[in-house]
Amino acid sequence: MKKYKVTFHEIFNAESEADCFAQLIQGMWDVVYHDDVTAFEIEEVEGADEKSKRVLNEIQSRWENLDITT
């Protein structure tokens, strides 16, 4: 079975965090009611081993390219 990461992106103009939360809840109800998932990003998640190797390679590359001369 494949794994998917679902991310919600939205910017709210709100008077407070509570107001933002209320807008988020209303927005989720609208998503359900209208079957509109355009505000969501869906991507397949790599296997843990592949992702770990990629992250380690990226860290190693950054370390090798680091200019520590002073």
The verdict on residue 69 lying in a domain is no
Domain count, the chain: 1
Per-residue pLDDT at 69:
59
Asked if 5 contacts 43 with a C-beta cutoff of 8 angstroms, the reply is yes
The verdict on residue 22 lying in a domain is yes
Closest CA relative to residue 38, chosen from 1, 2, 6: 6
The verdict on residue 9 lying in a domain is yes
Per-residue pLDDT at 16:
95
Per-residue pLDDT at 14:
96
Per-residue pLDDT at 49:
66
Per-residue pLDDT at 32:
87
The verdict on residue 40 lying in a domain is yes
Enclosing domain of residue 47: 4-64
| pLDDT tens, per residue, the chain with 70 residues | 778 888 988 899 999 999 999 999 998 998 888 888 888 888 888 765 677 667 777 877 877 776 665 4
The verdict on residue 47 lying in a domain is yes
